[in-house]
A and B are shown apart, each in its own frame.
Chain A
Amino acid sequence: MKSAVLSHPEPVCIPEKKVWLEVCGWKVPAGFASPAADHTRKRIDLNEHLIRNGAATHIFKVKGDSMIDIGIYEGDALLIDRSIEPRHGNIVLAVLNNDFTVKRLHRRGGVIKLVPENPRYPTIVVKEEEEFSIWGVVTYNLHKLY
Chain B
Amino acid sequence: MGGAVPQLALVDCNNFYVSCERVFRPDLVRVPLVVLSNNDGCVVSRSNEAKALGIKMGQPWFECKELAEKHGILAFSSNYALYADLSNRVMSILNDFAPRHEVYSIDECFVDMTGMPKLREVSYAMRERVGMWTGIPVCVGIGPTKTLAKLANHVAKKHPRSKGVFNYNALSEGQKALLLQRIPVEEVWGVGRKLTKRLECHRVRTVQDLKQAHVPTLRAEFGVVMEKIQRELQEVSCIELQEIQPDRQQIIASRSFGKMVTELPILQDALSTFVANACAKLRGQGSHAAVIQVFLQTNRFRKDLPQYMPSLAVPLPYPTNDSLEVNRWASFLCERMFKPEYQYKKAGIMLSEISPVTHRQGDLLEGDVSSNGKLMLALDTLNQRFGRGTVKVSTQGAYQDWQMRQERKSANFTTDWNEVPVV
- Mark A residues whose CB is within 8 Å of B: 1-2, 4-14, 16, 53-56, 58-63, 77-78, 82-83, 93, 95, 98-102, 133, 135
Contacts and interface: CB of A to CB of B under 8 A. Distances in A.
A108 B336 CA distance: 45
B409 interface: yes
Interface string B412-423: 111111111111
A98 B133 contact: no
A16 B336 contact: yes
Contact of A7 (B132, B336, B412): B412
Contacts of A4: 77, 406-409
Question: Do most interface residues of chain A lie in helix, strand or loop, or is the interface mixed?
Answer: loop
B423 A12 contact: no
5 contacts: A13-B312, A13-B336, A59-B420, A63-B423, A135-B135
B289 to A, nearest CB: 13
Contacts of B129: 83
A11 B422 contact: no
A90 to B, nearest CB: 15
Contacts of B337: 16
A83 B125 CA distance: 13
A4 B77 CA distance: 9
Contact of A9 (B336, B411, B415): B415
Contact of B422 (A10, A61, A133): A61
Contacts of B408: 4
B410 interface: yes
A105 to B, nearest CB: 15
A6 B317 contact: yes
Given A2-B419, A7-B418, A58-B414, 7 more contacts: A4-B406, A14-B89, A55-B89, A60-B420, A61-B422, A78-B423, A98-B29
Nearest to B414: A12
A10 B376 CA distance: 28
Nearest to B25: A98
A34 to B, nearest CB: 25
Contact of A100 (B26, B134, B406): B26
B318 interface: yes
Given A14-B89, A58-B414, A100-B421, A7 B81 contact: yes
A127 to B, nearest CB: 18
A101 B133 contact: no
Interface string B190-220: 0000000000000000000000000000000
Contacts of B69: none
Contacts of A62: 422-423
